[in-house]
Amino acid sequence: MAEQHVLEMKGISKAFPGVQALSNVTLKVKPGTVHALMGENGAGKSTLMKCLFGIYKPDEGEIYINGSKMAINNSKDALNSGVSMIHQELHPVPHRNVMENIWLGRFPTFGFGLLKLVNEKRMYEDTLQLFRDLEIDVDPRARTGSLSVSKIQSLEIAKAVSFNSKVIVMDEPTSSLTGNEVEQLFSIINRLRKRGVSIIYISHKMEEILQISDEVTIMRDGKYIGTWDSGELTTDLIISRMVGRDLTERFPERTNVPGDTLMHVEKLSSPNPKSFQDVSFALRRGEILGLGGLVGAQRTELIEALFGLRGVASGTISIDGKEVKIKSPADAKQHKIALLTEERRVTGIFPVLSVYENTIIANLGRYQNKLGLIKEREGRTEAQLNVEKLRTKTPSVDTQIRNLSGGNQQKVLLARWLLTEPDILLLDEPTRGIDVGAKYEIYSIIIELAKQGKSIIMISSEMPELLGMSDRIMVMSEGRMTGIVDGKQATEQEIMRLAAQQRSAVTGGNKA
C-alpha cells in the first residue's frame, strides 16, 4: 500500500440474508485529512464503517493501517489498531461523571495485587489535559446526563483521541446540533486535522461536506463509485453521483390546492410558562403548513400538544368548526390526527419487530377478530400494499425494520399512520437523517397526500425544505408565534428575522 494512506480498505464485500450490502468496496484515507463518505441511505456507508470498527466481519477484503494489514475481529481490535468510531446515536453513561465516561474500562489505578483503587486525581488531570489540548470547555467532574448534546459529542471526540486514534469515524455528527454548535465541532475537527488525525465524516448535509472535507468518496447500492477532491465538487455533482441520475429539481411540483379551514387553534398555551404560549393559527384542507423556528422555539412541544402528548393550560382546538378536547393520543386518533415523531429510532420504530408489525401496530383493532386475535393475512396484505404504494425498499414485510435504511423506515411509519385514515398529519422533521434521493420520494408522498385533501403541519429546521414544500410558513420564537408568511413569497431572511425575535418583542404576528 502507498505510504500516503493512513487507512486503506481493499475489496470489502459483505452480504446479509437476501441483501448484498457491500460489493468490492475500496476506501483510501490520507493522514491529517477529513474524508467525507457519502451515499443514499442503504448505499452501504454504515456497513463499511462497521466492518472497519469490527462490528461486522467482511466476507472478503483486507484492511491496512499505515501499510500494515490488520485483522479486526471486534471493536477492541479496531481501537488497538488506532481506529475509533463516534456513532450517530450517542450512548454515554448519564449518571456517571465526564471523566469516568472517558476512561470507562481503563481507569488509572494505584495499589498492589488485588488491592487496587481508582486514581481519581490522575484521571481528573489526564482528562483536563485532554480537554486543554482540544480546547473543550467541560468540567471533568460534571454529571454527563446534565450536558447538552454538543458537549456530549465533544466528550466522545475526546474519548476517541484518548485512544491515540489515527482514524476517527464520525457518523452524522451534526444531526442534532445548532449552527453555533456545528462551528464549535468544526473547530475541534480542524485541531485534530492539524495534529495528523484523519476523520471519516458521514453526513447528508452537502454544505457541511463542501465546507469541512478534503476528499469525498461516494457509494451507491453497496458499490464504490469514486473519490474526488472536495474542491472539484458541487452540490449538484454530488447528488447526481449519489443517485446515479441528475435531479433537476430538489422538490417536486406542488400540485395540491388548499381549501377551506379544517383546524383552528386559538390562544393555545402550555402549563409550562417557558413552553408555547398564546399560539393561534388556522390549517386548511389540502394544505402543507410549514413550521419554522430555531432550537428552543417549542415547535415540537406545540404539535405534541395537538396530539395529546402534552397538557394544555388554556386555549381551544376546533376541527370542522367544532371545539374538540384532545387529552391523549387516543383522543387525537379519534379526531383523525396522526403524528410522525422527530426521533424515529427512539419514538417511532419498534426495531426488533418486522415491517408488517410496525405497519399495523397503530391500528390493531382493524385486524382483530371477535376473540381479539390478529387476522394476520389481512395485516400482511395491507402491509405489502403499502410497501408497493410507497415504493419501500425491503426484502419482505417480515424483515426487521431496523435493517432498513432511514428513508425506508420513514415510509413504513408513514404507512402506519395512513392506515388510521387521518385527516391531519403532524410531521416533525420528516426527512431528518435521510439522503437527498429518499427525501425527494418523501416530498412526493407528502404532496400527494395534500393533493388528496390531507392537511399537513410539517416542522423543518432546513430552510430550503420549508421554502420548497410549504404553502404557508408559520414561524415560532421562544414559544410564541411570530408570523405566518406565504410559501411562494417567503425568503430566508424574512423567516430568520421572525425566528430570531425575542419573547419580549413578540406581538403575536399575523394569524391568517
DSSP 470-491: -SEEEEEETTEEEEEEETTT--
Cell numbers of 235, please?
452540490
User: Rounded distance, CA 300 to CA 512, Å?
Assistant: 21
pLDDT greater than 90 at residue 89: no
Q: For residue 512, what pLDDT band results from cuts at 50, 70 and 90?
A: very low
* pLDDT tens figures, 166-215: 999 988 887 666 667 788 888 889 989 998 999 999 987 788 889 999 99
3-class state of residue 160 by DSSP: helix
pLDDT cut 90: percent of the chain above it: 45
Question: Cα dihedral angle (352, 356, 359, 360), rounded to 10 degrees?
Answer: -110
pLDDT cut 70: percent of the chain above it: 94
379 and 422 in contact (C-beta within 8 Å)?
no
pLDDT greater than 50 at residue 2: no
pLDDT greater than 70 at residue 162: yes
Contacts for 46 with CB less than 8 Å, ≥ 6 apart: 171, 202
pLDDT mean over 351-375: 84
pLDDT greater than 80 at residue 100: yes
Report the pLDDT value the prediction gives residue 247, as an integer from 0 to 100.
55
395 and 19 in contact (C-beta within 8 Å)?
yes
User: Rounded distance, CA 370 to CA 25, Å?
Assistant: 53
Angle (nearest 5°) at CA 458 between 150 and 302: 70
Mean pLDDT of the chain: 87
Cell numbers of 192, please?
485534530
Q: Where does 337-421 sit in CATH, by number?
A: 3.40.50.300
Q: What is this structure's pTM?
A: 0.62
pLDDT greater than 90 at residue 9: yes
Does an H or E element contain 467, and which? helix 463-469
Report the pLDDT value the prediction gives residue 245, as an integer from 0 to 100.
60
Report the pLDDT value the prediction gives residue 214, as an integer from 0 to 100.
96
Q: For residue 3, what pLDDT band results from cuts at 50, 70 and 90?
A: low
Does an H or E element contain 498, and which? helix 492-499
- Max mean pLDDT among 104-118, 173-187, 236-250, 287-301 falls in 287-301
Report the pLDDT value the prediction gives residue 234, as an integer from 0 to 100.
87
Contacts for 8 with CB less than 8 Å, ≥ 6 apart: 1, 26, 27, 28, 29, 63, 64
DSSP labels, 82-150: TEEEE-SS----TTSBHHHHHSTT---EEEETTEEEE-HHHHHHHHHHHHHHHT----TTSBGGGS-HH
- For domain 251-330+447-512, the CATH class is alpha beta
Cell numbers of 409, please?
423506515
Report the pLDDT value the prediction gives residue 88, as an integer from 0 to 100.
67
User: Rounded distance, CA 474 to CA 491, Å?
Assistant: 13
pLDDT mean over 303-331: 95
Centre a 10 Å sphere on the Cβ of residue 396 and count the other Cβ atoms it contains. 13
Helix 179-194 / helix 120-134 crossing angle, nearest 10 deg: 100
* Long-range Cβ contacts of 225-234 (<8 Å, 24+ apart): 225/39, 227/28, 230/36, 234/210
pLDDT greater than 60 at residue 506: no
User: Rounded distance, CA 358 to CA 409, Å?
Assistant: 9
* pLDDT tens figures, 122-147: 999 999 998 888 888 889 999 988 88
Lowest mean pLDDT among 316-320, 323-327, 338-342: 338-342
* pLDDT tens figures, 36-51: 999 876 788 889 999 9
Strands 288-292 and 34-38: unpaired
User: Rounded distance, CA 169 to CA 201, Å?
Assistant: 6
Largest Cα–Cα distance of the chain, in whole Å? 79
Q: Pick from 253, 303, 322, 261: which is nearest to 286 by CA?
A: 261
Contacts for 509 with CB less than 8 Å, ≥ 6 apart: 475, 481, 482, 483, 484, 498
Report the pLDDT value the prediction gives residue 61, as an integer from 0 to 100.
95
pLDDT mean over 481-488: 93
Q: Which residues make up the CATH 3.40.50.300 domain(s) of the chain? A: 7-243, 251-330+447-512, 337-421
Report the pLDDT value the prediction gives residue 504, as an integer from 0 to 100.
45
228 and 250 in contact (C-beta within 8 Å)?
no
Q: Which CATH architecture has domain 7-243?
A: 3-Layer(aba) Sandwich (3.40)
Q: Look-up: residue for cell 454538543?
A: 150
Lowest mean pLDDT among 37-46, 212-221, 249-258: 37-46
User: Rounded distance, CA 8 to CA 226, Å?
Assistant: 14
